[in-house]
Amino acid sequence: MNDVGSSRYSWMQESELEVLAVAAIREHRHLIAADEAVYEEWTRASADPSISAAVLKSLQDEYVARQKKSEAQQEALSEIIDALGYVPEVAPDGEE
């Protein structure tokens, strides 16, 4: 196991960390999919001259907010994986 120093996860058992890591990986996958959907909507709207600037700004703001949330979640996932010492196998969604 890696030296995790003052990690907030360092006190957890490996089995607990693995469950937490799997859940965080699944959450990360869902966030990425949702982010991509918003990005696609934003780019489609950007190409449509009938879409107002306010709607475009709203989509852009939502995308940026989602990116910040994904970044924070990615940092937490990274900390969990560092504490665990490896990346657990996680079946693709729907194949559990």
Cβ proximity of 63 and 36 under 8 Å? no
- The reported pTM is 0.79
CA distance 91 to 68: 26
CA distance 31 to 47: 24
CA distance 44 to 24: 30
pLDDT in tens, 50-65: 999 999 999 999 999 9
Tokens of 90: 């996680």
Nearest to 12 by CA among 79, 72, 86, 84: 84
pLDDT in tens, 34-91: 999 999 999 999 999 999 999 999 999 999 999 999 999 999 999 999 999 999 999 8
What count of other Cβ atoms lies within 10 Å of the Cβ of residue 48? Answer: 9
Q: Cite the DSSP H helix spans in the chain.
A: 14-46, 53-84
